[in-house]
Structure formats: C-alpha cells, structure tokens
Amino acid sequence: MELPTILGIIAGTITTTSFVPQFLKAYRTKHTKDISVYMFSMLFIGISLWLIYGLIKQDLPIILANGISLVFVTAILLLKFKLG
C-alpha cells in the first residue's frame, strides 16, 4: 500500500471516529438541545459531496471515511429531530 493511501486511511479513521462521542452522548442522555441542526445539516451536505467525489475518483479512503461519517452524522441528526 502506498503512503498517501495509508495516510488517507489514518486521517479518515481519526475524523470518522470523532463523531462517536457525540452520538453516544446524545443517545445515552437523550439530550440534543445543544446540537446545532444547521451545523450538522451543512456537515451532512459536505460529507455527501465528499462521498460522491470519492466514488467518482474511486478513492477507497475517501469513500470509507465519508461513508461511515455520513452514517454517524445522519444518526445524530435523526436523534436531534426525534428528541428535539
């Protein structure tokens, strides 16, 4: 595996796992008042575009990181809408 791919996988893993604490806190506490729906909506759009870009370029680190990030951001947004 080439160095840029390894760096991409490491970077993607770190940024993707950064959503886990926010999701777990919202899920456990059932409290989402302090989560900005606008910020997470913009993040959803940006990650979606990065995922499309990765698919077009057939770049595995970009596809994996943004695909998994999109799942977490979607889950956080769903909790926000469900819990208010």
CATH number assigned to the domain comprising residue 18:
1.20.1280.290
Q: Which domain holds residue 74?
A: 3-83
pLDDT in tens, 30-72: 999 999 999 999 999 999 999 999 999 999 999 999 999 999 9
Residue 27 neighbours by CB distance under 10 Å: 14
Residue 69 φ then ψ, to 5°: -60, -40
Count of structural domains, the chain: 1
Q: Work out the pLDDT band at 83, boundaries 50, 70, 90.
A: confident
Exposed / middle / buried, residue 29 (Cβ in 10 Å: 0-12, 13-18, 19+): exposed
Token pair for 73: 């951001």
Q: Work out the pLDDT band at 84, boundaries 50, 70, 90.
A: confident
* Cα(69)–Cα(47) distance, integer angstroms: 7
**Amino acid making up residue 26:** A
